[in-house]
Amino acid sequence: MGNRIIYLDHAATTYVKPEVFEAMKPYFTEHFGNASSIYSLGRESKKAIEEAREKVAKALKSEAREIYFTGSGSEADNWAVKGVAAANRKKGNHIITSAIEHPAIMNACKYLEGEGFEVTYLPVDSDGAVSLEDLKKAIKDTTILISIMFANNEIGTIQPIQEIGAIAREKGIIFHTDAVQAVGNVDIDVNKLNIDLLSLSGHKFYGPKGVGALYVKKGVRITSFIHGGAQERGKRASTENLPGIIGLGKAIELATENMEAYNKKLLDLREKTIEGLMAKVPYIRLNGHRSSRLPGNVNISFQYIEGESLLLMLDMLGVCGSSGSACSSGSLDPSHVLMAIGLPHEIAHGSLRLTFGDVNTQEDVDFILEEIPKIVSRLRDMSPLYEAVKNKK
């Protein structure tokens, strides 16, 4: 195999597309002007930022003035939750979110609990979907915000966003969605989907790291996130990350143009991988919804083995994946998402996430379908848990 790398961790991050990198370059060295400056060098920067804003707006079918650039997806999530909570505190102190949110939402909510807010963490079913009935029941007179992720980063399950948004709208509650994993993979129309706020991050769709955006529907009350200058309509001060914003704009433009073909390709790789592994390896389980899931997401638990060992063996073959096992997370508990869909600890420890992207091919799938069963059986031969199963038979 030599030094070939098979990158199957696109949900963690993507490379920057050459077209995106080319678009960014001049803004490091030549067109470096501060967008707040009056001279033409600064005005050019301002113009370029506004063009990038238009591109993001076009991708979400919103207005450009509803798009605010941030330093990351996590920042957009933090701003959405804390900013809406602070601005609407007089109306109530109750927030509804789900048990499977990204830590950027989860820990922002935990922080708000310490500040006197009340948070309901909606459970999910075994596929990882929230129930609309549960949501309706959780709504109180004091509910000011519902924040439910668009698509889950670990198991890929896509939530019924339009329906959640409709419920929120009917009750006059603000609806935010963390769409960091969805943007670039799913066609999004914020108005059609009843979304009031939406977070996205550049490095999940072949843009640069360190830049994200928050969509805030006109009229939604939210406090400023960084107090300072007048950048981002005074809501998020800081001299703009010019090359980053240009890169984000270019990347989202490309993602929107190529979405149909990209989805088709990923879906094909995903299905071949899921079907192939299910057919070849016994004692496994697909995590996440079978069809309502991100096109490039495969998440499978292999019973009787531990995820980090699996990742290390894959890494020796040049395959990059990820796992929800405790050992790969650095804590003693496996992923909160796998726990929330009801997996026993030992099965959650044996999970493997593979997320496909641009660079992957049919040959990659053939290779992993050849190698993963070998690795799994090698680890199972070493496992006292599997020994017990074999002896029972």
Partner 1 sequence: MYSEKVMDHFSNPRNVGEIDDANGVGQVGNAKCGDIMKMYLKIEDNIVVDAKFKTFGCGAAVATSSMATELVKGKTVEEAMKITNKAVAEALDGLPPAKMHCSNLAEEAIAAALEDYRRRNGLASDESVDCTGCCNSCGHSHGREEDFEDED
- Using a 10 angstrom Cβ sphere, with 0-12 exposed, 13-18 middle and 19 or more buried, the burial of residue 260 is exposed
Distance of CA 307 to the CA centre of its chain: 21
Token pair, residue 113, equals 């609990």
Instruction: State which of residues 286, 327, 339, 369 lies at the interface with partner 1 (CB under 8 A).
Output: 327
Instruction: State which of residues 203, 235, 349, 353 lies at the interface with partner 1 (CB under 8 A).
Output: 349
* Closest separation in Å from C-beta 107 to partner 1: 20
- Distance, in Å, from the CA atom of 31 to the CA atom of 49, rounded to the nearest integer, reads 12
Token pair, residue 262, equals 């990209």
Instruction: State which of residues 312, 342, 363, 366 lies at the interface with partner 1 (CB under 8 A).
Output: 312
320 annotated as a binding-site residue: no
* Closest separation in Å from C-beta 83 to partner 1: 35
Q: How many residues of this chain interact with partner 1, rule: CB under 8 A? A: 25
* Closest separation in Å from C-beta 286 to partner 1: 21
Instruction: State which of residues 14, 201, 273, 325 lies at the interface with partner 1 (CB under 8 A).
Output: 325
Instruction: State which of residues 385, 390, 392, 393 lies at the interface with partner 1 (CB under 8 A).
Output: 385
> What is the β-pairing status of strands 297-302 and 118-122?
unpaired
Label residue 45 left, alpha or beta by phi (over 0 means left) and psi (-120 to 50 means alpha).
alpha
Q: Residue 159 carries which DSSP code?
A: P
Token pair, residue 18, equals 């050459």
* Closest separation in Å from C-beta 2 to partner 1: 18
Tell whether the torsion through CA atoms of 246, 252, 256 and 262 is positive or negative: positive
Taking the least distance from each CB to partner 1, the nearer of 98 and 328 is: 328
Q: Is 308 in the site for partner 1 (CB under 8 A)?
A: yes
- Distance, in Å, from the CA atom of 393 to the CA atom of 379, rounded to the nearest integer, reads 19
Q: Is 27 in the site for partner 1 (CB under 8 A)?
A: no
Which position among 138, 327, 339, 389 bears the catalytic label? 327
Q: Is 330 in the site for partner 1 (CB under 8 A)?
A: yes
Alpha helices in 115-192 (DSSP H): 132-138, 161-171
Taking the least distance from each CB to partner 1, the nearer of 295 and 334 is: 334
Cβ atoms of 376 and 305 closer than 8 Å: yes
Q: Is 324 in the site for partner 1 (CB under 8 A)?
A: no
Taking the least distance from each CB to partner 1, the nearer of 211 and 313 is: 313
Instruction: State which of residues 176, 304, 338, 360 lies at the interface with partner 1 (CB under 8 A).
Output: 304
* Closest separation in Å from C-beta 254 to partner 1: 35
- The pair phi, psi for residue 284, each rounded to 5°, is -130, 165
Q: Is 328 in the site for partner 1 (CB under 8 A)?
A: yes
Tell whether the torsion through CA atoms of 93, 109, 226 and 149 is positive or negative: negative
DSSP assignment string, 50-91: HHHHHHHHHHHTS-GGGEEEES-HHHHHHHHHHHHHHHTTTT
* Annotated catalytic residue 320: no
Q: Is 381 in the site for partner 1 (CB under 8 A)?
A: yes
> What is the β-pairing status of strands 212-216 and 67-70?
antiparallel
* Closest separation in Å from C-beta 237 to partner 1: 35
Query: Which residue positions form the known binding site for pyridoxal 5'-phosphate?
Result: 73-74, 153, 181, 201-203, 239
Residues that bind partner 1 (CB under 8 A): 304-306, 308-309, 312-313, 316, 325-328, 330, 332, 334, 345-346, 349, 381-387
List residues with catalytic annotation: 327
Query: Which residue positions form the known binding site for [2Fe-2S] cluster?
Result: 327
